[in-house]
Amino acid sequence: MPDIEKYDQFIDGEFAPSESDDRAEVTFPYNGDTWATVPLGTPDDVDRAVTAARDAFERDNWAGLQPSDRAALIRDVAAVIDDHANELAELETRQNGKLIREMSGQMNSLGDWFRYYASECETRDGDTIPVESKDGEMFNYVVEEPYGVVGAITPWNSPLLLTAFKLAPALAAGCTFVHKPSTQTPVSALRLAELLSDEAGLPDGVYNVITGSGSTVGDALIDHEDIDKVSFTGSTSVGRHIGKTAGENLIPASLELGGKSPNIVFDDANLDNAINGVIKGIFAATGQTCLAGSRVFLHEDITDEFIDRFTDRASDITLGDPRDPETEMGPVAFREQWETDRDYIRTALEEGATLQFGGEQPDDLPGQCFLEPTILTDVENNMTVAQEEIFGPIASVLTFSDEDDLIERANDTDFGLAAGIWTENFRKAHRIADAIEAGTIWINEYRTLTYNSPFGGYKDSGLGRENGHEGLEEYLQTKSVWVDLAGEVKDPFKLG
């Protein structure tokens, strides 16, 4: 039995015990071994962290930083992340069972988010506004200022990447941060906080991490009176609850939520490429991605051939230890999610779908979290499996012939996060991209994203955008400053 690592909360630049002795176990989904425990924190822990973040926000070594000094500090953060990328990738894999090759890729590019937003510190301009002004006596300019203390809540599927989507722009804006990571994957955030404090020299209190349950720590954080902004990534149902609380408290909320994305293959697509893209969309990361291309729409003329080849390819996927670089699909992240996946397969079959491939737990692998890549055919768009987000390796295959009907069905979902389009006809590709209601569209690609292109959802997939210039705006509020150069108030009873 390996030693179990015991973590504390990270508050004001150091590890600090929780007010509570209750702890959550962190297990390796591949074999179910518990390897760490973290505090199941309390509202008092949250309060200490928010107080530290508020103090840090007001201190000269944060709020008073010049843009170039802030940029230099954020570049130091990036360098420390680069130096520890492999260690962080291993932590991520041990928490959620995702492939080391995926987590290494994520961690080796994580520093780019910080470098990009460091540049924004130095290059972002304010505005001067061409207000109506007789003889040029009136001048108006707009400046941007940080909201203040951010309360951030993240899910388990890409813990640090999704943290960087928030932390990098928040630091660039000049905000401070209290982070509640997922209960399943809290360790990497705690280690990141330690590294940023000890090695990058981030001032105390700028990045605090409080672990614990959503209903206790998460709720205490978003409802804390001294939080100025909420940033959440997770399910649509929890996002709705968080949006309501933020609305009550009249603070802005960025919400990155679930998806049920169509991945559409036309009869003129390069099928080798499209099959790879459909695999990438639904079986990479064991389907546990908000972007999953879980509704596969096939043109009727290629449906039979595509399903045969897709099934062959799925049956060749190597399941195994996520730490092995040869493994193509790891376990589902925890047993409850595995049971959810199986329930969805059962429901699909009851509603009339056909199990084309998979659906079972392979018996030659350890733990209780492996599920074969699963292909369901004969799916109709009104079936549960085509409407609800599953978050597992389950592809629902639908067919189409008419373009208008395809668009109507592709958009007939509460979600609007992403879509894939596979065709060699670029006029058609752009026509469909224009018609699909989603925040990200890929043409002959799937599941790519980066720090400088905005990412977020239409409809119930979210509010606001992360990454790119828009990602920074989520942490800034604008101030419009009027200057009357004439220095004379002409009519005190008139607006303007």
- Residue 189 as a binder of ligand NAD (CB under 6 A): the answer is no
- Nearer Cβ to ligand NAD (171/290): 290
Contact stretch for ligand NAD (CB under 6 A) within 235-243, 356-364, 396-404, 471-479 = 235-243
Cβ 407 vs Cβ 308: under 8 Å: no
Q: Which stretch binds ligand NAD (CB under 6 A): 91-99, 127-135, 203-211, 216-224?
A: 216-224
Judged by CB under 6 A, does residue 219 bind ligand NAD?
Answer: yes
Q: 319-348: which residues touch ligand NAD (CB under 6 A)?
A: none
Of 57, 22, 13, the C-alpha closest to 40 is 22
Quick check: 356 and 375 in contact, CB under 8 A?
yes
- How far apart are CB 319 and ligand NAD at their closest, in Å? 21
Question: Quick one: which of 13, 148, 169, 234 contacts ligand NAD (CB under 6 A)?
Answer: 234
Q: How far is it, in rounded angstroms, from Cα 62 to Cα 149?
A: 12
Which residues make beta-bridge pairs with 480?
142
Cβ within 8 Å of residue 62, ≥6 positions away: 56, 174, 176, 203, 206
Is 256 marked active-site? yes
Residue count (the chain): 496
The residue from 34, 66, 128, 215 that contacts ligand NAD (CB under 6 A) is 215
Q: Please provide residue 56's backbone torsions phi and psi, each rounded to the nearest 5 degrees.
A: -65, -40
- Which of residues 12, 45, 341, 389 is near ligand NAD by CB under 6 A? 389
Helix (H, G, I), strand (E, B) or coil at 465: coil
- CB 217, min distance to ligand NAD, A: 8
We find the least distance from the C-beta atom of residue 444 to ligand NAD, in angstroms, to be: 23
Tell me if residue 369 is catalytic. no
Output 87 or 336, the one with its CB closest to ligand NAD. 336
| Residue from 117, 344, 391, 400 in contact with ligand NAD (CB under 6 A) | 391
Q: Which residues between 262 and 321 bind ligand NAD (CB under 6 A)?
A: 290
Question: Pick the catalytic residue: 256, 372, 473, 474?
Answer: 256
Residue-by-residue DSSP string for 139-206: EEEEEEEE--EEEEE--SSSHHHHHHHHHHHHHHHT-EEEEE--TTS-HHHHHHHHHHHHTS-PPTTS
Q: Which residue has the tokens 């001294």?
A: 226
Residue 9 Cα distances to 36, 37, 451, angstroms: 13, 11, 29
The nearest distance, CB 199 to ligand NAD, in angstroms, is 26
Nearest distance from C-beta of residue 12 to ligand NAD, angstroms? 22
Applying CB under 6 A, which of residues 146, 169, 174, 218 lies at the interface with ligand NAD? 218
387 binds ligand NAD (CB under 6 A): no
Does residue 97 bind ligand NAD (CB under 6 A)? no
Q: Is 390 in the site for ligand NAD (CB under 6 A)?
A: no
Give yes or no for residue 162 binding ligand NAD (CB under 6 A). Answer: yes
Q: CA 235 to CA 255: how far, in whole Å?
A: 9
290, 372, 473, 474: the catalytic one is: 290
Helix 159-173 vs helix 187-198: crossing angle, to nearest 10: 40
Helices in 250-381 by DSSP H: which ranges? 271-282, 303-315, 335-350
Q: Which one of residues 233, 261, 294, 413 is an interface residue with ligand NAD (CB under 6 A)? A: 233
Min. distance of Cβ 37 from ligand NAD in angstroms?
A: 16
375, 346 Cβ separation under 8 angstroms: no
The window from 34-42, 94-102, 255-263, 313-321 that contacts ligand NAD (CB under 6 A) reads: 255-263
Mapping DSSP to helix (H, G, I), strand (E, B) and coil, where does residue 27 land?
strand
- Given the rule CB under 6 A, which of 99-107, 147-155, 324-332, 472-480 is the region that contacts ligand NAD? 147-155
Could you give the CA distance from residue 446 to residue 269 in angstroms, rounded to a whole number? 14
**Quick one: 185 or 356, whose CB is closer to ligand NAD?**
185
**Among candidate residues 211, 213, 209, the one with its CA nearest the CA of residue 238:** 213
- Active-site residues, by number, are 256, 290
Question: Applying CB under 6 A, which residues contact ligand NAD?
Answer: 153-157, 162, 180, 182-183, 214-215, 218-219, 222, 233-235, 238, 241-242, 256-259, 290, 389, 391, 417, 457, 462
